[in-house]
Copies of this chain bind each other. A is one copy, B any other.
Amino acid sequence: MIIIIIILEKRVSLAEKIRSMTRQRRMILQELQKMTTHPTADQVYDMVRKKLPRISLATVYRNLDLLAQDGLIRKLGTAGAQMRFDGNPVDHHHIRCTRCHRVDDLPAGTVMVKDKGVGERTGYRIAGLHLEYNGLCPECQTEMQKTRV
């Protein structure tokens, strides 16, 4: 039996391509991990700038993206997609294609959400909720196969 131990001190790779862990990238990750809030890119920029005053906003955006790709952080909100509108105001959920950004309705009865005391435990006055699945739509699945081989 062969055991391989990989110590990630200088480099990070959850995908096949290895990418170097730069001072900037590490700092962005660290600062973000400290915060319990969910900052915007420019808020991250402001935090990181206190330690690395010469960092560029573009570097922050670039690295937030790469860190999310590597699964070290998460992006909240519908990335890179423009707003979409629904002619049906009745409550129902959706599924969104991560590749072509298409949005479909989830057939009624496919999901059940049970919550207990969300308002009480968060202090929010709840107005609604939205559940969104994401993945590859049928069309994009076949498209992907063509290019992959």
Which A residues are closer than 8 A to B by beta carbons?
A: 29, 32-41, 44, 64, 68, 71-79, 81-89, 94-95, 97-98, 102-107, 110-119, 121-138, 141
Per DSSP, chain A at the interface is: mixed
In the assembled complex, the CB of A43 is this many whole angstroms from the nearest CB of chain B, namely 9
A106–B124 Cα distance when bound, in Å, is 11
In the assembled complex, the CB of A47 is this many whole angstroms from the nearest CB of chain B, namely 11
A34–B141 Cα distance when bound, in Å, is 27
A84 partner residues in chain B, CB cutoff 8 A: 38-40, 75-77
A130 partner residues in chain B, CB cutoff 8 A: 76, 131-132, 134
A82 partner residues in chain B, CB cutoff 8 A: 40-41, 77
Instruction: Assess A85 versus B64: contact at CB under 8 Å? Given A38-B103, A136-B125.
Output: yes
A111 close to B103 (CB less than 8 A): no
B87 close to A34 (CB less than 8 A): yes
